[in-house]
Amino acid sequence: MKTVLTGIKPTGDIHLGNLLGAIKPAIEMSRSGDFDRALYFVADAHALTSVRDPEIFKNYVYETTATWVALGLDTEKSIFFKQSDIKEVFELTWILNCMTPKGDLNRAHSYKDRVQKNQQEGRDLDHGVNMGLFDYPVLMSSDILLYDTNEVPVGKDQVQHIEIARSIAGRCNEYFGEGTLVEPQEVIQKNGSYVVGLDGRKMSKSYGNVIPLWGTEKKLRKTINKIATDSTPEEAPKDPDNCTIMELYRLFATADQINALEKRYREGIGWGYAKLELFEVVNEYLKEPRERFNSLMNNKDELDKILNHGAQRASEIAEATMKRVRSRITGF
């Protein structure tokens, strides 16, 4: 039995970088059938460490759900649910907390970085740190271990968290016998080539250079027009291998389209035309998903139904694991 699982932190402004770096590969996996069980969940409890507005919070969860479904996640072949619907995750988190040396969490990146920043700025070392942030790696371990997960597809930044989960599981197996918890492995998503943003740097919300997935065609057009270009005159030949527009175009266009546009670059093309070509292919890709996304966002009952269906299926696995874990650890 091979179980694959990954968590999705809910946010607004989902962008092309998220699409190509994380969502698309995961959806392809959900359709591949290369596993016995695939679980995807919206990590809403993790978002509580920073979001402080219930309207925004709820909207993030719905937007994330609608995005994945609109882009083609198969919610029958995979189990798609909301983390906090499965209450066992919080029970397991407490148990795992009791098995985790505090020092391991002191060394976890996101906490350590915060402490370092506070130190540099001459503040109290724990300024701005809530216990949720400190304990984030244990909740994440609980997410993983609750479903007897074997493989966790993640970006490089999450590897340390999987190592922590593995070490907690190993410790429990040592204390309470082999088979208490499954020791998971990370599967690092090979995004050595990242998606480029409007200013030529990596597309990232923190750089403010993203192309959002959703919104009107008009807005997409306007955003693409903001891609930074130089002032080479319109008729001058351009290098297709050193251009943000072309780099993005290659991610969405067919081989024939790419060849044709490269040819026009060499002959000389105005940046406005190149941007229009890019808009056309991205818009073509997003057109149908955009309609599905909008219709789901206007039908929260449908989104609730999808999440409830997933929660029911996830909860069967969680209950079985907790029965085993409780009995091994507490005798009850």
Footprint of ligand TRP (CB under 6 A): 6-7, 9, 43, 46, 140, 143-144, 152, 154, 158
Query: Quick check: helix, strand or coil at residue 215?
Result: coil
Place of tokens 């066992």: 88
Q: What are phi and psi of 327, to 5 degrees?
A: -65, -40
CB of 9 to ligand TRP, least distance (A): 4
CB of 41 to ligand TRP, least distance (A): 8
Name the residue with the smallest CB distance to ligand TRP.
7
Residue closer to ligand TRP, measured from CB, 44 or 262: 44
CB of 11 to ligand TRP, least distance (A): 10
- CA separation for the pair 120, 113 (Å, rounded): 11
Structure tokens that stand for 107 in this block: 């060394």
Residue closer to ligand TRP, measured from CB, 40 or 279: 40
Contact 228, 198 (CB under 8 A): yes
Residue closer to ligand TRP, measured from CB, 40 or 214: 40
Contact 167, 104 (CB under 8 A): yes
Q: What are phi and psi of 203, to 5 degrees?
A: -70, 120
Residue closer to ligand TRP, measured from CB, 93 or 223: 93
Q: What contacts 81, CB < 8 A, 6 or more positions away? A: 39, 40, 41, 42, 307, 310, 311, 313, 314
CB of 325 to ligand TRP, least distance (A): 17
Residue closer to ligand TRP, measured from CB, 39 or 282: 39
CB of 47 to ligand TRP, least distance (A): 9
CA angle 113, 119, 125 (to 5 degrees): 80
- CA separation for the pair 169, 163 (Å, rounded): 10
Structure tokens that stand for 328 in this block: 């091994």
CB of 80 to ligand TRP, least distance (A): 14
Residue closer to ligand TRP, measured from CB, 135 or 143: 143
Q: How far, rounded to the nearest angstrom, does the alpha carbon of residue 278 sit from its chain's CA centroid?
A: 25
